[in-house]
Structure 1
């Protein structure tokens, strides 16, 4: 599981006896777009959100300080929400959430991006100094639900990167959040339903992670990180070979189910990194990776063709 991979890393780079929570995120709230509502309403939200993310207990595992998952959250308040007649809804706001998380690459001082996504469909009710609370079974507020959802997605991806299918419990926790949100009469905003967002919303993110048809993407998450990237410092050629083969395997999933949200998330996090990895590859590796990446990411095909130069 994840803890075994981390333990190996710590045995090499040193141990710490201090316990900590799972996340170490930088959290910012941007209110520059807020033109009509009183910005003082959001005094304290940034600190509350930071404490909610970094101080809550999200897993049953004990994390050392150096094990904590690093990331960034930027919540941008767009303005006050309106009803169908364009009348302002009191204390309800629209926003977008940019969230990014990374993981260390063993044997190096580098990190690799796990998750990089912007959710533009957030609507939430908030009053000044309102606490953020999350319940596994009750819908408290949309902002807490959305943030908790992405935290469990990130935890699932992180655990998957250390053990094959190691993140299943967290993906199931994210699915439970979707279920609670769908059943709540007071839920605000879009993003929780299968019929919204052109298969790019929260519903489809977790649906993809748990779907048997996306098994190659689950395998990619583990093989790419644990068997590929984490081996690069000791045997770069072996690491590149493993990554190349797992990309070709993931292409089969793309051929059957093109343009899934999981593939888009992978490309958002990894396309530049893959280019850097294979700049030092053999001509055959460069050709194969350029072909695979051009097929699954055609909008950036010209960038991948540069590998052949």
Structure 2
């Protein structure tokens, strides 16, 4: 099994969750750039946001403690325009276990949502409604909770996360009435509208189907047959190349490559040279900004 899986999985650095439904989520709020004498509000944010993610029941399924989806939301606050109003960015990361091993793999990594703008006051109630807009911070957290769960379910069953991507899409629709940045198609190149639109776009369905093949059929079977696993992943990359040819600026494809690039280098750093060469050539084409990293695939 590629040792990179262990390295990547350890990046999250979780503590065990004492309360959770489906998620074991850690929310971290970085407020170094905010000038205020009362820092308690940021501690309260972390507590409230973490409890919201972990205590909300997002599915109708029952999760054992060890089955809960481990994830992390890093909120980097940039400014406080007025009391109770905050602007910043956020990074979201989630992992899943690789079966037959002690490793974990990152299955969703969104480096930086550039438009986290919300109102929050200490001890503010937070309640999720799948059909109504209640506040921007609830919508932000709920959107990514559903994306995380949808992605996780997709890795265990082909398009198994459909209902959660549908829920995320409904959150986008509801939040557009609030006129906050990040929920509309033309709010920059990186926004939540474009992300969920890609996941639900029929022309990009191979991306979600590939997530199942990559994780369940390849990584989960890697210990038993690494050569077969490599071939399956090459097949996934071939389908992603078609998506790149059709939609080279797809945000979902870019997110997948952000999530998997280091792991792919490790997976193909040894083994069948034919598979390694094909993976290398495709990755150089669809992710040229990481060309120096992908050269390592053929360096051994």
Given the two structures, how large is their TM-score scaled by the length of structure 1? Answer: 0.87
Q: Distance in 1 between matches of 2:44 and 2:56?
A: 17
Unaligned residue ranges in structure 1 (runs of 5+):
1-18, 82-88
Q: Which residue is equivalent to 2:46?
A: 46
Q: Which residue is equivalent to 1:196?
A: 187
SS at the partner of 1:281? Answer: coil
Do the aligned partners of 1:20 and 1:62 also contact (CA within 8 Å) in 2? no
Q: Does 1:307 align with 2:300?
A: no
SS at the partner of 1:21? Answer: coil
Q: Does 1:93 align with 2:77?
A: no
SS at the partner of 2:156? Answer: coil
1:91 shift after superposition:
2.2
Q: Does 1:141 align with 2:135?
A: yes
Unaligned residue ranges in structure 2 (runs of 5+):
1-18
Matched ranges for 1:112-261 at <5 A: 112-117=105-110, 118-183=112-177, 187=178, 189-198=180-189, 200-261=190-251
1:112 shift after superposition:
0.6
1:107 shift after superposition:
0.4
Q: CA RMSD in A?
A: 1.5
Q: Which residue is equivalent to 1:8?
A: none
Q: Distance in 2 between matches of 1:263 and 1:63?
A: 29
Q: Distance in 2 between matches of 1:303 and 1:125?
A: 41
Q: Distance in 1 between matches of 2:135 and 2:159?
A: 30
SS at the partner of 1:44? Answer: helix
Given the two structures, how large is their TM-score scaled by the length of structure 2? Answer: 0.89
Q: Does 1:264 align with 2:260?
A: no
Aligned residue pairs total 280
Q: Does 1:76 align with 2:76?
A: yes
